Amino acid sequence: MYRIALISPPYGAASTDSMRPIGLMAIHSYLANEFGERIEVELFDYSDCRDDDYACLDTDGIATYDLVGLCAYSTNFMIVRAWAIQIKARNHRVKTVIGGPHATALPQYLAEHHRDAFDFVVRGEGERPLSAIIRTLIDGGRPPRVAGVVYKDKLGIVSVGTTDPVKDLDTVPIPIAKVRSPYEQYLVAFDRKEKRFRKAFPFTTSRGCPFSCTFCSIRASDSKWRAVSAERLGDWIAAAKVEDPSIEHINFMDADFLIDKKRVIAIGEMFEMRHPEQTWSFSARVDDLRRLGETALRKLVSQGLRAVEVGFESGSQSMLDKMGKHVKVADNYFALAMLQRLELDVLIDFILFLPDETPEQLRESLTFIRTAGLADYLPHHHLFTALVQYPSTPLRKFYEELIGTQFSLDVLPEPVTLFTNPATKKIYQYFVCDFYPYIQRLSAMIARVDISATEMASSDRRVAQYLRIEAVSLRQLPCVVLEALLDSNDAGTLMGTTSLIEAVPWLENFDRHFDHLEELCRQRAVAA
């Protein structure tokens, strides 16, 4: 029996979001259905492991498999490469395949320059290309010459076409697979309406994208948008519930869930008819939300919709135009106001710093954040974001030409090295690099102050009110710091500073004030 291991290697220290390997689950199901008893395929999730935790490979006997497929993002490619090298060091006969967004963006480069780590590169959607590779290896034939499979042989690079996607997603096996991991792997979604966490399950119900955002890595796949029908999706959810009856929430991970308005309305009706106990969430563009309209969105809320992840990206019109969003800042305001009126939880996608962003444009984004009521939004991660220079994206090429350099194809460039405006560079250094370490303590303090204020609401109203005011101030602290840096630049004093504390002197009292709040909460807890 031919044995296959599919691996999600560590995401790396830069990642803060753990996610089940949705793409690999789909490939696992497809291979199991395609080959049946001819193969044994298992899925391993090491995404939360340390970058160099190679002991996992030995514990799970990865080098004993005939073929190992590894998924790589541009953020963790060198980690994935190191894991592939470790696998081959344990057994040089193992065939390794790399797929995922990074492989899709740079298939021929990886086949040429990383042949020591990977025997094959899969470009685009992995089901059919990987099946072709496995079929030839099982049968002992020559390596396949099919769309989506790239490799190097004695005559050079073999690359036929671009990708060979499954055209009708209703025909693919349900993308659910058992995942082996050193850590307990499950998702939760916070239901603000019921004020509790729900166990969640992720699905990607569509592929491709009809839009052309200049910063997005999805462009490299060159695949048309297709989606699972509402009826078939109901079957997927039913199967997930059989696998784990404790699932209460479905998290749709599509790049843009709202492309087909009729399909979305049908999905809401499907939830109402077949899975009324489930809540759900999705991601969308602001113009999609405007086209859907408040009446339809309100109906979806009544059918279990709880949260929407929205790509606002910027509050500066010139930056939105540069990112190829083809929306107006007014569309951002409109979409957010509609979501807030319906009391939906909003998850924010934002890119605050671009290499040629000016302090004036940063202030435009800060104005949007405050005017839209997002200054006290938690968590604060959306305020500490910079453009990621994904390979094969138009903005990456634009900035390479602007800066006069060529970025590494193996490691993403550090944002702080790319800024063309000296003041923006200093603001980024102070705010993102120097202030962000404060956020962990800030987040913990906000939670503690909130709890203490609630507990003291009846016993000590004066202190409870003081703590509620402090909680609001703490939530807005990052925006206040950013504004202070922008004000310092406007006053002409920023460039003469050498540290965050020198630029924002009152931050020197940060630790002292936090110690005071912690002591106050502790004393009141003891008294209670």
Asked if 66 and 154 sit in the same domain, the reply is yes
Asked if 343 and 399 sit in the same domain, the reply is no
Give the pLDDT confidence of 229-248 residue by residue, as tens digits: 999 999 999 999 999 999 99
For residue 362, being part of any structural domain is answered with no
* Mean pLDDT for the stretch of residues 12-19: 61
Assess whether pLDDT exceeds 80 at residue 134.
yes
16-30, 234-248, 299-313, 327-341: the lowest-pLDDT one: 16-30
Of 105, 146, 152, 112, the residue nearest 129 (C-alpha) = 146
Residues 6+ positions from 129 with CB-CB distance below 8 Å: 99, 122, 123, 146, 147, 148, 149, 163, 164
- The pLDDT value given to residue 458: 75
- Last residue of some domain: 170, 204, 226? 170
Q: What is the DSSP letter of 432?
A: I
Asked if 135 and 244 sit in the same domain, the reply is no
For residue 239, being part of any structural domain is answered with yes
> β-strands 179-180, 187-191: how paired?
unpaired
CB 305 within 8 A of CB 281: yes
- The pLDDT value given to residue 455: 83
| 18 confidence band (pLDDT: 50, 70, 90) | low
- The pLDDT value given to residue 524: 65
Residue 282, domain extent: 186-351
CA distance 449 to 455: 10
24-28, 194-198, 408-412: the lowest-pLDDT one: 194-198
Coarse DSSP helix, strand, coil percentages of the chain, rounded to the nearest 5 percent: 50, 15, 35
> β-strands 149-153, 156-159: how paired?
antiparallel
Of 340, 330, 345, the residue nearest 283 (C-alpha) = 345
Of 193, 185, 443, 186, the residue nearest 307 (C-alpha) = 193
For residue 260, being part of any structural domain is answered with yes
Asked if 230 and 135 sit in the same domain, the reply is no
Whole-model pTM: value is 0.93
Asked if 166 and 192 sit in the same domain, the reply is no
Assess whether pLDDT exceeds 70 at residue 525.
no
Say how many domains are in the chain: 3
| Backbone phi and psi for residue 60, each to the nearest 5 degrees, phi listed first | -95, 5
CA distance 123 to 146: 11
| 297 confidence band (pLDDT: 50, 70, 90) | very high
For residue 366, being part of any structural domain is answered with no
Assess whether pLDDT exceeds 60 at residue 173.
yes
Asked if 242 and 336 sit in the same domain, the reply is yes
For residue 365, being part of any structural domain is answered with no
- Last residue of some domain: 351, 384, 408? 351
Instruction: Supply the CATH number for residue 78's domain.
Output: 3.40.50.280
Asked if 345 and 492 sit in the same domain, the reply is no
Give the pLDDT confidence of 343-362 residue by residue, as tens digits: 999 999 999 999 999 999 99
For residue 28, being part of any structural domain is answered with yes
Asked if 251 and 387 sit in the same domain, the reply is no
* Mean pLDDT for the stretch of residues 121-148: 94
Instruction: Supply the CATH number for residue 286's domain.
Output: 3.20.20.70
Asked if 61 and 191 sit in the same domain, the reply is no
Asked if 411 and 470 sit in the same domain, the reply is yes
Give the pLDDT confidence of 38-48 residue by residue, as tens digits: 999 999 999 99
Asked if 155 and 263 sit in the same domain, the reply is no
- Last residue of some domain: 139, 170, 201? 170
Q: State what percent of residues in the chain have pLDDT above 90.
A: 82
Residues 6+ positions from 25 with CB-CB distance below 8 Å: 43, 175, 176, 177, 179
Asked if 233 and 333 sit in the same domain, the reply is yes
